[in-house]
Amino acid sequence: MTARPIIANTREELSEALASRGEIGFVPTMGALHDGHASLLTRARSEVGESGAVVASIFVNPLQFGVGEDLDRYPRTLEADLMICADHGVDVVFVPDVTQVYPDGDPEVTINPGPKAEILEGAARPGHFAGVLTVVAKLFGLLGPDVAVFGEKDYQQLKVVTRMAADLDLRLDVIGVPTVREPDGLALSSRNVYLSAEERARAPALHRVLRECAARIVEGKPLAAVTTDGAAELERTGFVVDYLAARHAETLAPIDSAADGPIRLLVAARLGKTRLIDNIGV
Ligand code: PAF
């Protein structure tokens, strides 16, 4: 039988649950867990070993949602999430409400995510990364993890969190884990449940087009033409494209040619009301 994790709803319960633990491997989430999150939990365990503790948090952070975004309808599936945590040997699940995370209301002091957060997702979603980094920094403060594991699915998030940990000397390792995909290539995402059957059938084009763009870059085609053609192909498939960009894989800075790489291709596009993001290395 799978052991149930300890569920901590308050800061005090969390401190109690973490007292005299070994190394802590942390997986922050907003719930609606799927196999992508499961791969993060597995990685956290392999980092801290059996003597360490794997801790997941489940908190839909209002600070990182903009006006008109999906905060209210974000999927909440706590019972199923706890089963996934149990199946993956999670020791403690922190499930705070907003008053536990922000006891004094919206924080006066927030994390400035720097220039990487003004482009791509940051340009499309102003304030998003300040909200992400602020809650991540608070969760790091509350848990004191040795290792924190994030998915490459949110590639820009992974890069800004990594940079925050380095710039603020947070004394933990931030680890990125490859995206888990459906057999047809669609990246697993908690937001995939928003797709209608017809949109779901179109959605794998996002990954297909990224792979086609990567292949053309490897053939030596100019980056600007590749991304313009890729975006046009997505629009033909029914997407409304926010961006399809070839960026430096570490700095996310724009680059002119493949020689300036390594390259990461990043895309955000809407199918109906659902906004999907994806990325791949070239
Ligand atoms: O990736 C997410 O689910 C969220 O952005 C995170 C890191 C849990 C912060 O709320």
Q: What is the pLDDT of residue 1?
A: 44
Say if residue 208 is exposed, middle or buried (CB neighbours under 10 Å; 0-12, 13-18, 19+): middle
Taking the CB of residue 74, how many other CB atoms lie within 10 A of it? Answer: 17
Take residue 275 and report the two structure tokens written for it: 């906004």
Q: How is residue 234 annotated by DSSP?
A: H
Atom of ligand 1 nearest to the CA of 151: 1
Ligand 1 contacts CB of residue 176 (under 6 A): no
Q: Which residue CA neighbors atom 2 of ligand 1 most closely?
A: 29
The list of the chain residues with pLDDT below 50 reads: 1
Q: What is the pLDDT of residue 60?
A: 98
Q: What is the pLDDT of residue 2?
A: 62
State if pTM tops 0.75.
yes
Q: Which amino acid is at 214?
A: A
Give dist(CA 9, CA 96) in Å, integer.
5
Q: What is the pLDDT of residue 221?
A: 97
- Distance (angstroms) between ligand 1 centre and the Cα of 258 equals 31
231 CB-side CA count, 13 A: 17
Average pLDDT, the chain: 97
- Distance (angstroms) between ligand 1 centre and the Cα of 238 equals 28
Counting ligand 1 atoms within 8 A of each CB, the residue from 40, 64, 164 with the most, and so the one to mutate, is: 64
- Are 210 and 267 contacting, i.e. CB atoms less than 8 angstroms apart? yes
Q: What is the pLDDT of residue 3?
A: 78
- Are 33 and 84 contacting, i.e. CB atoms less than 8 angstroms apart? yes
Ligand 1 contacts CB of residue 179 (under 6 A): no
Q: What is the pLDDT of residue 20?
A: 86
Per-residue pLDDT tens digits for 32-59: 999 999 999 999 999 999 999 999 999 9
Atom of ligand 1 nearest to the CA of 161: 7
Q: How is residue 179 annotated by DSSP?
A: P
Take residue 247 and report the two structure tokens written for it: 């960026």
- Are 145 and 26 contacting, i.e. CB atoms less than 8 angstroms apart? yes
Hey, which residues does 271 pair with through a beta bridge? 274
- Provide CB contacts within 8 A for 127, sequence distance 6+: 64, 66
- Are 243 and 120 contacting, i.e. CB atoms less than 8 angstroms apart? yes
Question: Quick one: what percent of the chain has pLDDT higher than 70?
Answer: 99
